[in-house]
Amino acid sequence: MPTPLFSYRKFWAECFGPAPELPMSRAEMDALGWDSCDIIIVTGDAYVDHPSFGMAVIGRLLEAQGFRVGIIAQPDWTSAEPFTVLGKPNLFFAVAAGNMDSMINRYTADRKRRNDDAYTPGNEGGKRPDRAVIVYSQRVREAYRDVPLIIGSIEASLRRIAHYDYWSDKVRRSILLDSRADLLLYGNAERAIVNVAHRLAGGESIQGIRDLRGTAFVRKRIADNWRVIDSSDIDVVGPTITPPNPYEDTRTDSCVTTSDTAAAEVATVTLVGSLADANAEQQNTVIRIPSYEQVKDDGALYAHASRILHKETNPYNARPLVQSHGDRELWLNPPPIPLQTQELDWVFELPYTRLPHSSYGTARIAAYEMIRHSVNIMRGCFGGCTFCSITEHEGRIVQNRSEDSIIREVEQIRDTSPAFTGIISDLGGPTANMWRLACKSREVEAQCRRLSCVYPGICKNLNTDQTPLIQLYRRARNVEGVKKVLIASGLRYDLAVETPEYVEELVSHHVGGYLKIAPEHTEDGPLGKMMKPGIGTYDRFKVLFEKYSKAAGKEQYLIPYFIAAHPGTSDRDMMNLALWLKRNKFRADQVQTFYPSPMATATAMFHSGKNPLKRVTHHSDTMPTVKNLSQRRLHKAFLRYHDPDNWPVLRKALKKLGRSDLIGNGKMHLVPPRQPAKRHGVVSPDARPFATQHNGSPRVPARPARKSRH
């Protein structure tokens, strides 16, 4: 097993003790008595010393190991000079884009530039460059060419291999090559960065650190003692018989399906902390996936490479991957072993101020204000939604904090936050209700290569008892000084219905008027490509929600979110979704269009037109993808069927679909036959034929940004 994070011998600089806040200037270093920093973190976010911000977690973690850590936040990237403000670090630079990918932070799903940035003081846009990891790394190299350079954060994590880039509409090579970094740390990188820091401090060369889980690097060639398996030997690319459904045995006693048996038997994996601890067979086995040159020109090979990568994400059975980029080999080590509860508690209880750096004065940082009174109770997600990047970054094995640690943080918020009014805004994480849920068998978990524990149904081996979470909620809401504990993280309603008592506790005490959940669609076609449950599961949850709301004497609304233009979605699917919305009297104020984030399975679908949830061949059926801007707008228009501006395009689409019967002024119609009359730019009230049908029903607000983790 890996060395616990709190068990390392501390570096000599621990004698300085923890800094009130990590320094961002030479004057602050002088005040602390430092002549230099051991490690400098460069980040695209404003520095907020809170455990929901990656630079704070990594900075405080390294400080707790005895290192002097400085922060360069949102530097001017037009020259190298701002990167010298803290001097030359003794050990290494750590470069991160921030809590979000810089391109997703800067651009909408329609590739339009945003004017704001929630992670910047004053919500000011343009304070970080596009492709921030690459740009910051280039400036660091200009300033200090000989200092080891390590990259991380979700931007580096999701771009660790050749990946489709939505903004340039092409496959880009690994970010390691463009950044010229020495090492890439992916996922929640606590184990790797602590190990690297101590080894560099002990005199090792950065070029010699090649055996750490959760890392990627570039090498000239593969050593002769490694056994190389071609990925096509595991998952055939080319003409083949129709493959079996890889999820057909969801409710059996084993999570290893027939189609995966051969892959599972290639190598046995033990629970290890580093590759050097593994048995000889695992230590010397690497899977070669198609090269950058191959995947950039061949959609089927791109989808195949994506499938293999996602099959090799279980830290207990994953093997290293290698991908050629020209004459160099990109090497990807298996994911890190998840943190134990005691370690996660320790990380979240480091001496954060829970405040923005004092240099920002009274400037508001929107992302901080949204989460400052929330508590992260877990990491990871075994849902496997294909459009989501959480599992690619944090993994599918849920890591849990202890109940006592969570309550201590609630009490700390109560006692130290001057803005606290008695409301805890969230107890959650990537999801609201996966805390303490895990596979019932460690042996089965160690062999499993499934992409989801809950699709197409909940695995028989999954513990779904949410009783411990009920107890946590009750204990938190009974903390003295706490008036209400809200649950704002995304709820897995398919899991919630497995424990009706949990739904009762949630609805009776933790909903602030309306609860947002995400069925994402109503039609089986797109839902199958998303790996989301059918709309019938939503209906079952809705029955419980309304039952317990009524029992509690509360008028509360369930607000569903939906995605437009997801791969696998046809125009007819969107029409049927619009009809469902109208029947259920929902009107979306804003809608979410599918955003192809790097490395996501749905992004592989979007780019290739192939379905990597099954074995991919050059002869595999091509699935519908919505790339054309006019079709993307049409799918958004179906979600906002009630907006008169969308009626012309919807009428045209309905006629093309052979559904002219949906055009009219009756209750059964989707859009009226004519545009409303306007008086000096104002829509006449009598020209809105079904506005009154929605009185008293909630309007669907915009979906908030998903929480990002370092």
Integer Cα distance of 7 and 343 in angstroms: 10
Tokens of 666: 């009756």
Instruction: Specify the pLDDT at position 267.
Output: 30
pLDDT digits (tens, 9 = 90+) for 262-293: 333 223 333 334 444 444 455 689 999 999 99
Would you say 459 and 440 are in contact if contact means Cβ atoms under 8 Å apart? no
Would you say 140 and 147 are in contact if contact means Cβ atoms under 8 Å apart? yes
The total of other beta-carbon atoms located within 10 Å of residue 265's CB is 10
DSSP characters for 392-407? HHH-SS-EE--HHHHH
Integer Cα distance of 261 and 253 in angstroms: 15
* Closest C-alpha among 267, 365, 457 to residue 48: 365
DSSP 8-state assignment for residue 660: G
Integer Cα distance of 531 and 509 in angstroms: 30
Low-confidence ranges of the chain (pLDDT < 50): 239-280, 682-710
pLDDT digits (tens, 9 = 90+) for 166-186: 999 999 999 999 999 999 999
Instruction: Specify the pLDDT at position 225.
Output: 86
Integer Cα distance of 23 and 46 in angstroms: 13
Instruction: Specify the pLDDT at position 680.
Output: 54
Domain boundaries of the chain, sorted by first residue:
1-220
Q: Which pTM value belongs to this model? A: 0.90
* Closest C-alpha among 542, 638, 538, 658 to residue 587: 638
SS3 (DSSP) at 234: helix
Instruction: Specify the pLDDT at position 697.
Output: 37
Integer Cα distance of 309 and 295 in angstroms: 13
Tokens of 117: 């940035």
- Phi (first) and psi of residue 65, to 5 degrees: -85, 0
